[in-house]
Amino acid sequence: MKVLVIQNRMGIGDLLIFLPYICGISKELNTPISLLARQNTRAKDLLKDNPHIKEVITLDRDDKNRSGRHQGFFGTLNLIKDLRKQKFDKSFTFNSSARYALITKMAGIIDRHQYPLFQKKNQNIIETAKNFINKHLKQNINSDSEIFIDEKKINDAKNQFKITSDKLHIVLGVGGSGPTKRVAAEKFIKFMDLINEVKNCIFYLAAGSNTIEQQIVDTILNSAHKNNCITLNKMDIVDTLPVIKNCNLAVCNDSSFSHISAALGIKTLVLMTDTPLLYGSYSSRMTAILPEGLKDVTHDTLGKEKINPEEIYIKAKKILNL
């Protein structure tokens, strides 16, 4: 049986949120699946060791620049041709778009499953996926994602970075997709001050390559902790995976690294400043840190100034049993 799963949302976080449900399909049908996903999800790299993924088909579509082999009307025809060649028997589509209903039908897939059409507004990304899988496969899925890594890569990273048990190894995901998600460097430094007093730490600074995130990294590197910091932002994100896998804890803005750390099995404190709480709490490995005085967050919270480093420290101590 050849099975296609379509996950067309953008970003690494979206991919990892859907991953348990994608893998659940493979487990239930007892066959690895083919996944159609956008290039910026990095699915080909992040899932290459996943036994439930047979292949990743790149959805070559750039909506912002209106470019790519699968963009627009003729792009839709190209995608139909690409999928028809594969002769899929069954498909599962994690969205409500009529476009993908048409694509899977025209690609000759007989057994098609998809979210209810035209119901995208106000969808809860987690609950909708759970209900979809429960309806079609009668499965209740654990929402913890898992990134598989070759054991040799993990050991090589441990040796390369001299990761030993006499120190705490903590990932600091200081980047974010927008300015309202990036907590100030000074708040990370205050947390570092507090936790380093309890036990010697090595901090792994994870961020993107843009100027603003590099400034946050530079501010931390110019602090009293410069000698116990290792920067990961010049590494390809895939090469950071075995390093993160060796760490004891991650403290991250709501970003790719918060999702990656949790999917690698690392207890992760997620600094939630202006995105819905579920993005920092869907995994059992995640603990959300909210702006001081708030019990919930939304896209309009703008709460990065109210993140309290002492709360991060208290929750980190509890997780680490310090």
| pLDDT digit string, tens, across residues 258-281 | 999 999 999 999 999 998 999 999
Q: How confident is the model at residue 14 (pLDDT cuts 50, 70, 90)?
A: very high
- Domain's final residue, options 71, 102, 137: 137
Domain co-membership, 130 together with 191 = no
Do the domain assignments include residue 180?
yes
Confidence of residue 301 (pLDDT cuts 50, 70, 90): confident
Domain stops at, among 76, 107, 137: 137
> Is the dihedral angle over the CA atoms 82, 85, 91, 96 positive or is it negative?
positive
Residues 308 and 179 in one domain: yes
Q: How far apart are CA 281 and CA 286, in angstroms?
A: 5
Q: Give the model's pLDDT for residue 72.
A: 86
Share of the chain above pLDDT 90, in %: 82
Domain holding 32, by residue range, is 3-137
Q: For residue 10, tell me if it sits in a domain.
A: yes
The reported pLDDT for the residue numbered 45 is 95
**Looking at residue 121, what is its pLDDT?**
72
**Whether residue 155 is found in the same domain as residue 131:** no
Residue 142 lies in a domain: no
Is 159 found in the same domain as 82?
Answer: no
Asked whether residue 230 is domain-assigned, the answer is yes
Question: Backbone dihedral region of 184: left (phi > 0), alpha (psi from -120 to 50 degrees) or beta?
Answer: beta
Residue 266 falls within a domain, yes or no? yes
- pTM here is 0.93
- 199 with 292, same domain: the answer is yes
Q: 171 and 196 share a domain?
A: yes
Q: Is residue 146 part of a domain?
A: no
- 300 pLDDT above the threshold of 90: no
- Looking at the structure, tell me whether residues 96 and 74 fall in a common domain: yes
Give all strands (DSSP E) within the chain, no chain letters.
3-7, 33-38, 53-59, 90-93, 111-114, 168-173, 201-206, 229-231, 249-253, 268-271, 286-289
pLDDT for the residue 235: 92
Instruction: Please say whether the beta carbons of 235 and 205 come within 8 A.
Output: no
- Total structural domains within the chain: 2
Residues 71 and 212 in one domain: no
Q: What is the pLDDT of residue 208?
A: 86
182 and 136 Cβ atoms separated by less than 8 Å = no
Q: Is there a domain that residue 177 lies in? A: yes
Report residue 88's pLDDT band, with 50, 70 and 90 as the boundaries.
very high
- Statement: residue 118 has pLDDT above 80: no
User: Could you say which of 137, 164, 198 is where a domain stops?
Assistant: 137
44: CATH: 3.40.50.2000
The reply to whether 176 and 79 lie within a common domain is no
